[in-house]
């Protein structure tokens, strides 16, 4: 990986990143899988926290990929957030955390980063090296946010590779 956040990846790093993306599900398939996981998690939380009602906020937003995938044809999608105006009680937080961890793992998001983990304030992110993310925050409200991670669209997966570049004298 690159140490300088502004340094562009070299051809070798970009080629490795492109090969990784070619081996992953398409952006469209991944988006459906991430949405399904978030839907399952919100439904699970609703069974554990009676009265939790979810509202979708924000818009679906596409973006280019972050390093080391920024030199590839990959894209990522930030999905709309889900917000419930209720707190996850501390006595059920461990079960909700485990369910979120299980669902995130089905997406390859096995990394865990805990921003807060204290009574009444829980904030955790499950992530993959490609950027697939499920973020669960439970303070005054409960918020679920998600990102597909870098992927190739179906069209880019089936497109012929670009011709090799020819060096100029």
Condensed to tens digits (0 to 9), the pLDDT of residues 42-62 reads 999 999 999 899 999 999 999
159: confidence class by pLDDT, cuts 50, 70, 90: low
Q: Which overall architecture, per CATH, does domain 25-154 show?
A: 2-Layer Sandwich (3.30)
Q: What is the DSSP string of 115-160?
A: EEEETTEEEEEEE-TT--EEEEEESSSEEEEEE--SB--HHHHHSP
pLDDT given at position 97: 97
List phi, psi (to 5°) of 114: -100, 115
Task: Give the mean model confidence (pLDDT) for residues 6-15.
Answer: 75
The secondary structure element, H or E, covering residue 78 is strand 75-84
The residue extents of the domains of the chain are: 25-154
Mean pLDDT, the chain, whole residue set: 90
pLDDT given at position 59: 94
pTM value is 0.86
Maximum mean pLDDT: which of 15-19, 77-81, 163-167: 77-81
List phi, psi (to 5°) of 26: -65, 165
Q: Residue 113 CB: number of other CB atoms within 10 A?
A: 11
pLDDT at 10 over 90: no
Per the model's pLDDT, the better-predicted residue between 24 and 66 turns out to be 24
């Amino acid at each position: 990986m690159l140490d300088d956040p502004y340094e562009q990846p070299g051809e070798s790093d970009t080629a490795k990143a492109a090969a990784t993306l070619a081996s992953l599900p398409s952006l469209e398939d991944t988006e459906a899988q991430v949405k399904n996981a978030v839907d399952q998690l919100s439904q699970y939380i609703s069974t554990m926290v009676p009265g939790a009602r979810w509202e979708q906020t924000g818009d679906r937003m596409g973006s280019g990929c972050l390093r080391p995938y920024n030199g590839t044809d990959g894209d990522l999608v930030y999905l709309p957030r889900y917000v419930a105006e209720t707190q996850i009680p501390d006595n059920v937080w461990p079960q909700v955390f485990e369910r979120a961890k299980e669902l995130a793992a089905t997406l390859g998001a096995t990394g865990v980063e805990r921003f807060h983990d204290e009574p009444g304030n829980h904030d955790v992110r499950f992530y993959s090296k490609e950027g697939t993310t499920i973020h669960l925050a439970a303070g005054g409200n409960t918020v679920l946010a998600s990102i597909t991670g870098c992927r190739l669209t179906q069209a880019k997966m089936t497109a012929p590779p670009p011709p090799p570049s020819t060096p100029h004298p």
